[in-house]
Chain A
C-alpha cells in the first residue's frame, strides 16, 4: 500500500528533484571562459617559451640539443654554430612545432639551463598549420594574439 502511494505521488522522483532544487540558488560553479580567463596552476604545461637571461637579455639556451633528443615527437630543431673565437656553441635558430607537441614536458625537464619552458598560456589555436611552427623570435617574445574587436566578448 505504501509502495503504491509512493508510486502515485512520485516520491522517489521528488526526492531527486529536491537535490536539484537545492542547487538552484547556490553560487554558480561554471567559469565564464572567454570573459574571465582561468587561472592555471604554476606547473601547467602550455605554450612553449625560450627564456632570455633577465639581466643581459641574451638567450639562456646553450644549444646542447638535449631537448631535441628527448622529445618523443622529434619536433624541436636546434641550429647551432661554433663561435670561432670562444669555441662555444651559439644558437642560430630554434623551431618548435606546437601542432605536434604532446605537452609532456620532457624537454623542459632535461634542459640544463631552463631555457625552454612550457608556460601557463594555453590558447594555441591558429589559422594555419604553417603558423603553428614557432620560430625563435616567437618563442622568445611569446604568442602575440590576434586582437578581437570590442564586440567579441559580448
Chain B
C-alpha cells in the first residue's frame, strides 16, 4: 500500500464498484482504494463485454463485417460504420456520390446529437437530476424515429453501404428532420434552464476532475474531454473527411477542464451539429446515392488509417488488406478506451460520489472499450 490512511487510524479499504453498478454505464469494474470517503486510487478493470469484433472481421468479407461495427459503440452506431467504410472506400478508391456524402454527414451529426443526449440524460441521472433524463430521451426518440425511417433500425442501424447508402431518403424525411432541428434549440434551452445555473449541479461538477490541456494531450485524450481542457482539436477540422470541409461549424472549447466545462462543450456541440444538419438540408444535391462498388470488394494490398470524430472522440480504423476479400487486420482505436485511462488520474483525492460524476463525464461505452 503506497498511501497511508489519514483519518484516525482507519484502514485503507478496497471497494469494487461495478461491473453491475448502474452508474458505471455498462460493465466497467472500478477497484477503489478508499480512505473514509476519499479516493486514494482507482483501477479500471475491463473486458466483461469482449466479443472479439476485430477478430471476427478477419473472418468476414469487407461487406459482411460492417454490421459488427454497429455493435462496438452501439450508442453511436452510425459513426462507427461511417469510419470503417471511409477507410475501405479510400483503400479501393471508390467515389461516393455527393448526395450520399451529404446524407452520411447529416446522419452522423444526428447520431452525435442523440449520443450527447443520452450522455446528458445518464450523466444528470447519476448526479441526481431525474427530469432531464426523461426530456433527453424524448428528443432522442425523435432522432431514433428518423433512423428507423431511413435505415430501418433504431440502434444497431447498419447505416451505410460501401459506396453510398442502402436507399435514398424516404418521403417526409426532410420535413421531419427540419421540424426536429427547428425545435431543438428550445429543448436545449430547457436543459440549460434546469442544469446550467442549478446550484446542486454546479457544486457537483465545478472543479471536479480538472485536467489541463497539456496533460490531456499526454494521456492521448480526444473528443469533448480534450476540448473541455482548452485544446481545440477536432478531427473534422484537423483532417476533414467525407466532405466535412464544405460545412461551417465551430469547435466548442472549455476553459477549466473540469466536469462542468465538458458538460458545456457537449451542449455547444449539439448546437454545432444542428448547424451542420441545417446546412446539409439546405444544400442537399439531387442525384443517386449509390456509388460504384464491386459486389465482392477486394482492395489492393495496402493499409489505411481512417480517423473520424465520433461523438466520443477520435475513432480510428486501421485496415490492412492483403488483397483477399477479407481484411487481414482491422484495428479499432476506440476513443473512450483511451479516455477511460485518465479516470485514475481524475478521481484521486475526490469523494466516492464524484467517481460517479467522473465516469459519466468521460462518456464511456463499454461495448467500444472491450470490443
Point out residues on A near B: beta carbons under 8 Å. 7, 10, 12-13, 15-16, 18-20, 29, 40-45, 70-72, 102-106, 109, 118
Contacts and interface: CB of A to CB of B under 8 A. Distances in A.
Interface in B65-94: 65-68, 70
Given A7-B199, A40-B148, A19 B194 contact: yes
A43 B63 contact: no
B69 to A, nearest CB: 11
B175 interface: no
A70 B64 contact: yes
B158 A105 contact: yes
Given A103-B153, A104-B158, A105-B158, A43 B60 contact: no
Contact of B197 (A15, A44, A71, A105): A15
A12 B202 CA distance: 11
Contacts of B64: 70-72, 106
B170 A41 contact: yes
A44 B65 contact: no
Nearest to A104: B67
A102 B190 contact: no
A15 B190 CA distance: 10
Interface in B176-223: 190, 193-195, 197-200
B67 A41 contact: no
Given A70-B64, A72-B67, A72-B68, A43 B193 contact: no
Contact of A15 (B148, B166, B193): B193
A98 to B, nearest CB: 15
Contact of B63 (A16, A45, A70, A103): A70
Given A15-B193, A15-B197, A72-B60, A45 B153 contact: yes
Contacts of B148: 40-41, 43-44
Contact of A16 (B67, B151, B152, B198): B198
Interface residues of B, number: 31
Nearest to B167: A43
Contact of A103 (B138, B156, B194): B156
A69 B190 CA distance: 50
B131 interface: yes
Contacts of A13: 198-200
B284 interface: no
A106 B197 contact: no
5 closest cross-chain pairs (CB), A and B = A43-B152, A104-B67, A16-B194, A72-B64, A104-B158
A47 B196 CA distance: 44
A105 B195 contact: no
B270 interface: no
Given A13-B198, A43-B151, 4 more contacts: A41-B149, A105-B152, A106-B67, A109-B166
Contacts of A109: 166
A42 B170 contact: yes
A41 B194 contact: no
Given A29-B138, A72-B65, A105-B166, A12 B199 contact: yes
B55 to A, nearest CB: 14
Contact of A20 (B68, B131, B152): B131
A30 to B, nearest CB: 9
Contacts of A16: 193-195, 198
B156 A102 contact: yes
B198 A12 contact: yes
Contacts of B156: 102-104
A119 to B, nearest CB: 11
Contacts of A40: 148
Nearest to A11: B197
A89 to B, nearest CB: 20
Contacts of B289: none
